Amino acid sequence: MLGELVAGSVGGLVLIQDSAACEGHSLLKTFVAASARRGESVHVFGFEIPEEEFQAGLDPHVTAQLLYQDGFIDPLRWTGQAGGFGVEEFSGRGVAGCLTRGSAGPGTIVLDSLSWILLHQPLPAVCQTLEQIPRVAADAGWHVTRIVALLHGDLHPSGLLEMLRSLAQAVVVVRPAPEAVGSTGDAPRQASLLLHKGKRKVLKKEEYFTILAGFTLKTLGEPARGALPDEDAEPCSVADPAANLTFNLRLSDAERQAREGVPLPFHFSAQKKSSLLQMPAGMGKIYYEPDAADDPDEEDPDDDLDV
């Protein structure tokens, strides 16, 4: 499923959440490379690493299609020079203004990283911007299909992470895979995927993956169901209280048959049951047939009200 995600099956906000234990930059670059190979224009808003470092390892024809907005050199506009991208400009309009450099076809916006932006702008403003970008861009005539954002999960409180995840269309959480997975030295990682499908479906999945040279993705299958840490395994060591009993708790088949053969003292035949459930015949019954003089109006039995 991660493969489909990289291949562009999902539009909207795609969040890649990594941590110090497992970096997500290479996965982000995989998304970039895949988008560029599809011929989309890719706008990278980089704040964390310089342009050369971001482009390292990518194919030359991929880098040719990258439109890098450099927020690394002077993010806070201290030098006063033009060019580059200040963090202040990260708003719906500001981002849409940068799109003019690209072609009019479908475009991908890459944020490297969202964590850095969140450190410099208030949370509501950032989230509103994320929602606005496709809309403002559409008004200006640009088509933004997806926003891929890298988020360092261990830098933010869990409440904030939950909130960002609720905004995203797809969330990929990367973490190191257990050692048994994967073959020689391709650094397998585990991805927990959360995907909103349509308006009424949510998919969750775990997958192992690794990233090959040139930033192509290779999935290594899913973790087995039983591989999850089994909590029930522990109490087995506790002594079984049913072990040394002086009586029999379990029945053999023969014993069970014998037990079922015994008629229970309160077991009735169908006949007796129905006779008990029906009214006894000896009891009186009231039959009532209304006659002509009967007054059908209950509320006014003597007809003295003017209704």
User: Contact residues for other proteins (CB under 8 A)?
Assistant: 122-125, 127-128, 131-132, 135, 157, 159-160, 162-164, 166-167, 194, 196, 199-200, 202, 204, 232, 235, 238, 240-242, 268, 273, 277, 299
The minimum distance between CB 207 and other proteins, in angstroms, equals 16
The minimum distance between CB 65 and other proteins, in angstroms, equals 30
Q: At a CB cut-off of 8 Å and minimum separation 6, what does 195 contact?
A: 1, 5, 10, 169, 170, 171, 202, 203, 204, 205
| Pick 262 or 277: Cβ nearer other proteins | 277
| Pick 4 or 162: Cβ nearer other proteins | 162
The minimum distance between CB 203 and other proteins, in angstroms, equals 9
Q: What's the burial of 62, exposed, middle or buried (CB within 10 Å: 0-12/13-18/19+)?
A: buried
- Sign of the dihedral defined by the CA atoms of residues 16, 19, 23, 25, in that order: positive
The minimum distance between CB 273 and other proteins, in angstroms, equals 5
Vertex 72: Cα angle to 68 and 75 (nearest 5): 110
| Pick 21 or 123: Cβ nearer other proteins | 123
| Pick 25 or 93: Cβ nearer other proteins | 93
The minimum distance between CB 238 and other proteins, in angstroms, equals 7
| Pick 202 or 292: Cβ nearer other proteins | 202
| Pick 9 or 166: Cβ nearer other proteins | 166
| Pick 180 or 233: Cβ nearer other proteins | 233
CA distance 179 to 177: 6
Helix (H) or strand (E) holding 180: none
DSSP, collapsed to helix, strand or coil, labels residue 77 as coil
CA 247 to chain centre: 52
The minimum distance between CB 150 and other proteins, in angstroms, equals 18
CA distance 39 to 32: 11
β-pairing, 170-176 vs 143-152, is unpaired
The minimum distance between CB 108 and other proteins, in angstroms, equals 21
DSSP, collapsed to helix, strand or coil, labels residue 94 as helix
